[in-house]
């Protein structure tokens, strides 16, 4: 059941965080839905601008429609991740998405407001939800590049939300895009979340760059011929603490890529005679499902499926 993103926000706020998982292909889609159903969790499927161009936007949109049919017990929203204005408008008019993210965080404060406001007006006219971003996360994720952290200013965040009418806000609190998030101790700025929550009580906040980059995955990739050094991610045990400070959606992409890389490297190392892409795919799908289910436990969303379904139906 595809549901409005803001309905999931209302159900989750203060209790758990919704896992927002990026996918790019069929195998990820199958594993994602299976893992969320196994853990009985509502979730958000994220299709990025890069994912839409990797195959074709209509291919991914068709996957979402088909998944809704073959997994009738799933409760999920379909979200554009890190879109520019043109991509947001295209998704708003597609009839598939529940929400879009307009990322104009690289622009000036006033320009960010201007662009975000246009997207909000177009999205709200079609009943869609808009996520915006204020501040910048260090690192690289597809088309998003930033050399340094630009932390979100809480007072600016309150002004931004009021002037744009956006429905959720991605905040820069020290996480980073990609696999190389920290050097030494983690420095998540929960003090920033605390101040934003005071100024925007009940308003859903989003944490990007939240993959944990498990050492076991990295070590297994390297043992199978990889060369990933110094990767370090977010301690997933901190997720539930963030939900109490307004974080309602947590984005996870890199960890899923690590699972894909580990499965395929190990498979072809152990089976050098194999060449059928379906063989490692058969290993990856259940492995990815297991990863998703475990992540939902950390997010607190595991076990919330039936309650979320009832809430969304009652608030349609």
Beta strands in the chain (DSSP E): 18-22, 43-48, 76-83, 99-102, 129-134, 138-141, 144-146, 168-171, 176-177, 205-207, 247-252
Length of the chain in terms of residues written: 316
Catalytic residue among 68, 81, 103, 276: 81
| Tokens describing residue 181 | 């998030």
CA distance 290 to 183: 28
CA angle 182/187/192 to nearest 5° reads 135
Q: 3-state class of 70 per DSSP?
A: helix
Told to judge if 191 belongs to the known catalytic residues of this protein, a careful annotator would answer no
Angle subtended by helix axes 5-12 and 305-314, to nearest 10: 120
From 76, 127, 77, 122, select the one nearest 102 (Cα to Cα): 122
Active site residues: 81
């Amino acid at each position: 059941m595809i549901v409005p993103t803001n309905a999931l926000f209302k159900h989750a706020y203060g209790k758990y965080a919704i896992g927002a998982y990026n996918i790019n292909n069929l195998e990820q889609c199958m594993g994602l839905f299976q893992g969320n159903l196994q853990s009985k969790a509502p979730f958000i499927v994220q299709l990025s601008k890069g994912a839409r161009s990797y195959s074709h936007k209509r291919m991914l949109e068709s996957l979402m429609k088909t998944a809704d049919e073959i997994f009738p017990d799933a409760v999920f929203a379909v979200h554009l991740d890190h879109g520019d204005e043109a991509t947001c408008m295209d998704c708003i008019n597609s009839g598939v998405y529940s929400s879009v993210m307009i990322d104009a965080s690289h622009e000036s404060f006033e320009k960010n407001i201007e662009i975000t406001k246009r997207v909000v007006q177009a999205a709200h006219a079609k009943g869609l939800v808009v996520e915006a971003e204020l501040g910048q996360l260090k690192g690289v994720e597809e088309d998003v590049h930033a050399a340094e952290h630009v932390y979100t200013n809480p007072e600016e965040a309150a002004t931004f939300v009021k002037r744009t009418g956006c429905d959720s806000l991605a905040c820069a609190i020290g996480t980073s895009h990609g696999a190389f998030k920290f050097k030494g101790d983690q420095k998540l700025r929960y003090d920033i979340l605390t101040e934003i929550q005071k100024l925007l009580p009940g308003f859903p906040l989003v944490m990007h760059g939240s993959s944990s980059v498990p050492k076991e995955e990295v070590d297994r990739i390297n043992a199978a011929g990889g060369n990933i050094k110094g990767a370090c991610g977010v301690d997933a045990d901190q997720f539930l603490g963030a939900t109490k400070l307004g974080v309602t959606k947590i984005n996870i992409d890199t960890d899923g890529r690590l699972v894909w890389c580990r499965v395929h490297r190990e498979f072809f190392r152990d089976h050098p005679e194999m060449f059928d892409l379906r063989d490692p795919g058969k290993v990856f799908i259940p492995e990815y499902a297991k990863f998703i289910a475990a992540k939902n436990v950390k997010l607190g969303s595991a076990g919330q499926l039936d309650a979320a379904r009832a809430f969304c139906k009652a608030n349609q």
